[in-house]
Amino acid sequence: MTLTQLEYVIAVSKYGSFTKASEKCNVTQPTLSMQVQNLEEELKIKVFVRGTKPIQLTEVGKKIIEQGQVIVEEAIKMKEIVSYEKNYIGGKFKLGIIPTVAPIIPLFLSKFNEKYSNVNLKIEEFDSKQIVSKILSGDIDGGITSSPLNNGDINEIPLYYEPFVAYIPKINNLSKIENLKIEDLDYSSILTLKDKNCLTKQIFKLFKNNNKKSDINTENFETLIQLSDQDFGVVILPYLYSKNLSEEKMKNIKYFEKPKPAREISIIYPKNKLKSPIINVLSNFIEKVSRANIKSNEVKIISPV
């Protein structure tokens, strides 16, 4: 019995298909099938019921998978201990990031890759719930999201505090206000992303009277800004997103009075794993970049949960 064989049977169980499991494990299907068969022959049992879609586990197969996951996780921990002791910074690292935080990526990725060329960093966008789910299932190694999440299975390392700004075109009477207060805004006129977005939940918390006349089901700030330009309302944006606007549209950005409403952004990873050297250098790198690009003094943090 080998760790590779256990990883293969776990993959087949997870994806319900030899074909999909082989793709995820980056091996040919015949190779994966042969290794699974070798394991079954060694143990003199059948792990899977062939011929079903998705492939089902036998009763003993369920126990094999359960114990196999423990063995594989412990083996991973052993490798992490060695890497940590050697302070080796390298290997694959899958990072999930919420879309509204994505503007931080161009600020650090190129220099990070240059300095830590042994790290194969793969970044994908997911919403916060997906990031937590994928971290706990082992599909990704960590995530960058709005925090605190108050999840007992997740470790959080705060990276930076990002103030909110308001996009108010000149067609709107509020554009004449120099120092904006939340009290100056009416929630019914705020254009927000779809309800499941954590930023939308944070904006909701800013207002005592949070009744809305209508909702726009979009995940795109650009759509909201275009609607705002047509006098449909005001858009509250994360500071870094606003910095990517055109020079003309930047004239419509209004800043809030202190303490500015803001969100905490953290890198998160599972509590049942060691904090890898990659997480250390990645968090330090992003924290340094954020300090150079965001003035976050005198802010009021709005929780996403």
pLDDT, one tens digit per residue, over 78-133 is 877 777 677 778 888 999 999 999 999 999 999 999 999 999 999 999 999 999 99
**Weakest-pLDDT range from 1-10, 118-127, 295-304:** 295-304
Determine the Cα–Cα distance for residues 262 and 259; give it in Å rounded to an integer: 9
Helices (H), the chain: 3-15, 18-25, 29-43, 59-86, 105-115, 128-137, 198-205, 221-229, 239-242, 247-250, 277-293
State whether residue 169 is helix, strand or coil.
Answer: coil
* Contacting residues for 141 by C-beta, under 8 A, at least 6 apart: 92, 93, 94, 95, 135, 269, 276, 278, 279
- Residue 91, by phi and psi: left (phi above 0), alpha (psi -120 to 50) or beta? left
Determine the Cα–Cα distance for residues 3 and 75; give it in Å rounded to an integer: 8
pLDDT, one tens digit per residue, over 238-281 is 999 999 999 999 999 999 999 999 999 999 999 877 667 889 89
Domains, the chain, in order of start with CATH, read 3-85 (1.10.10.10), 87-160+264-296 (3.40.190.10), 162-262 (3.40.190.10)
- Mean residue pLDDT across the chain: 90
pLDDT, one tens digit per residue, over 187-231 is 888 999 887 788 988 998 988 776 665 567 788 899 999 999 999
| Tokens 């390298």 found at | 90
State whether residue 94 is helix, strand or coil.
Answer: strand
For the residues 133-155, what does the mean pLDDT come to?
A: 93
pLDDT, one tens digit per residue, over 26-74 is 999 999 999 999 999 999 999 998 878 888 999 999 999 999 988 988 8
